[in-house]
C-alpha cells in the first residue's frame, strides 16, 4: 500500500515536472513568426519604412536588425501604456500577444542599416571615452559593457542595438530616461535611468552622434 502511494507520488511529481519543463521551454522558445509578422507590418511601414530602417522622420526609430526580445518587450510596454507614447500605443490597439511577437520576429530578421557620425573630433573623442569607459566620477557605466563595442546590443539579454539610430531619437531617449519619463520596468529601464542620471546635455549630444555612426 505505502509502496503504491510512494509510486503514485513519484508519478505525480514527474508529471508535474514535465508540465513545468514544458511551460518553461514554451516560454523560452515562444518566438514570433517573421513571415506572419511581415503581413501584419503594412501599417507600420508608413513611419518605420518598408525595410524597417528608412529615415522617414528622425524621431522614428530604426527597427530592422533590432533583437526580438527587446522589440517584443517594447511593443508590450507601449500597448500597456508603461512606455507612455500615445502615437505608438494607438498603433497596437486590438493586437494580440502573438501579433506583437510576430512583428518583433519580423523586424529582428531584417538587416540593420548604419549611418555616419558628423561631430567634431573633440566631440567624437569625448563620446568614445564615455562609450568605452564610462564616467566613474558620475557613476556612468560604460555603454559598451551592455550594448557591445559596436552598439549591436546583446540579443540574448535583450539589450537593444543602439547603433544606426538617428541622433535625434537617441538623444530623446537618453533625456527621457534621465528625466524619468521613459518608465520601463526597474530591471531593464532601471539600468538606463541609472546610467543616464549623470549625463549632461553636451555628453548626450556627443554620445548620440557617435552612436549613430557605430557599426
Ligand atoms: C505614425 C507613425 C508610426 C507608426 C504608424 C508606427 N510607429 Fe512605431 N514608433 C513611432 C515613433 C514616433 C516611435 C518612438 C516613440 C518613442 O519615443 O518612444 C516608435 C517606436 C517604435 C518602437 C520602439 C523601438 C525602440 O527602439 O525602442 C517599436 C518596436 C515600434 N515603434 C514598432 C512599431 C510597429 C510594429 C508598428 C506597426 C504595428 C509601428 N511601430 C507603427 C512611430 C510610428
Ligand atoms: C547595465 C547595462 C547597460 C548600460 C551600461 C547601458 N545601457 Fe543602454 N540600455 C540598456 C537596457 C537594458 C536598455 C533597454 C531599457 C528599456 O527597456 O527601456 C537600454 C536602452 C538604451 C537606449 C534606448 C534604445 C532604444 O532603441 O530606444 C539607448 C539610446 C541607450 N540604452 C544608450 C546607452 C548609452 C549611451 C549608454 C552609456 C552611457 C548605455 N546605454 C549604457 C542597458 C544598458
pLDDT digits 0-9 by tens, 124-166: 999 999 999 999 999 999 999 999 999 999 999 999 999 999 9
* Of the candidate ranges 3-7, 43-47, 69-73, the one whose mean pLDDT is the lowest: 3-7
Per-residue pLDDT tens digits for 166-211: 999 999 999 999 999 998 888 899 999 999 999 999 999 999 999 9
C-alpha cell at 15: 508529471
pLDDT for residue 23: 44
What pLDDT was estimated at residue 22?
Answer: 42
Q: What is the CATH number of domain 34-109?
A: 1.10.760.10
CA-closest candidate to residue 145, choices 167, 166, 130: 130
Which one of 77, 117, 191, 203 would you pick to mutate in the ligand 2 pocket, going by the greatest count of ligand atoms within 8 A of its CB? 191
Residue 18 reports pLDDT greater than 70 = no
Residue nearest to atom 41 of ligand 2 (CA): 143
Q: Which residues are CB-neighbours of 213 under 8 A, at least 6 positions away?
A: 114, 115, 116, 117, 118, 163
Say if ligand 2 is within 6 A of residue 184 CB.
yes
Q: Where are the domains of the chain?
A: 1-30, 34-109, 121-212
User: Which residue has 519619463 as its cell numbers?
Assistant: 181
d(C-alpha 134, C-alpha 113), whole Å: 26
Find the ligand nearest to 72 CA. 1
Q: Residue 17: is its pLDDT beyond 90? A: no
pLDDT for res 55: 79
210 lines ligand 2 (CB under 6 A): no
Q: State the pLDDT at residue 4.
A: 54
The answer to whether 106 and 37 have CB atoms below 8 angstroms apart is yes
What confidence category does residue 20 fall into, taking pLDDT thresholds of 50, 70 and 90? very low
Atom index in ligand 1 nearest the CA of residue 95 equals: 38
Q: Which residue owns the Cα nearest ligand 2 atom 37?
A: 143
Assess whether the C-beta atom of 172 lies below 6 angstroms from ligand 2: no
pLDDT at 24 over 90: no
**For residues 81 and 33, what is the distance between their CA atoms, to the nearest angstrom?**
24
Architecture of the CATH domain 121-212: Orthogonal Bundle (1.10)
Over residues 60-77, the mean pLDDT reads 97
Fold agreement between 34-109 and 121-212 = yes
Average predicted confidence (pLDDT) for the chain: 89
Q: Closest Cα partner for 45 from 3, 91, 7? A: 91
Distance CA 108, CA 66 (A): 5
User: Taking 70 as the threshold, does the pLDDT of residue 19 lie above it?
Assistant: no
Amino acid at each position: 500500500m505505502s509502496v503504491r502511494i510512494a509510486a503514485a507520488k513519484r508519478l505525480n511529481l514527474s508529471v508535474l515536472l514535465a508540465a513545468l519543463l514544458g511551460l518553461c521551454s514554451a516560454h523560452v522558445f515562444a518566438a514570433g513568426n517573421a513571415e506572419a509578422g511581415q503581413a501584419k507590418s503594412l501599417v507600420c511601414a508608413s513611419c518605420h519604412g518598408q525595410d524597417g530602417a528608412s529615415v522617414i522622420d528622425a524621431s522614428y526609430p530604426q527597427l530592422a536588425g533590432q533583437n526580438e526580445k527587446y522589440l517584443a518587450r517594447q511593443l508590450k510596454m507601449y500597448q500597456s501604456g508603461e512606455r507612455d507614447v500615445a502615437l505608438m500605443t494607438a498603433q497596437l490597439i486590438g493586437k494580440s500577444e502573438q501579433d506583437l511577437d510576430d512583428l518583433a520576429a519580423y523586424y529582428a530578421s531584417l538587416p540593420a542599416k548604419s549611418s555616419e557620425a558628423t561631430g567634431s573630433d573633440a566631440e567624437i573623442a569625448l563620446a568614445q571615452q564615455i562609450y568605452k569607459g564610462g564616467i566613474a566620477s558620475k557613476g556612468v557605466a560604460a555603454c559598451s559593457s551592455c550594448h557591445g563595442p559596436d552598439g549591436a546590443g546583446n540579443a540574448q539579454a535583450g539589450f537593444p542595438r543602439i547603433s544606426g539610430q538617428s541622433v535625434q531619437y537617441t538623444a530623446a531617449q537618453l533625456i527621457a530616461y534621465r528625466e524619468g519619463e521613459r518608465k520601463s520596468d526597474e530591471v531593464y529601464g532601471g539600468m538606463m535611468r541609472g546610467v543616464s542620471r549623470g549625463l549632461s546635455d553636451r555628453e548626450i549630444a556627443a554620445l548620440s552622434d557617435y552612436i549613430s555612426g557605430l557599426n
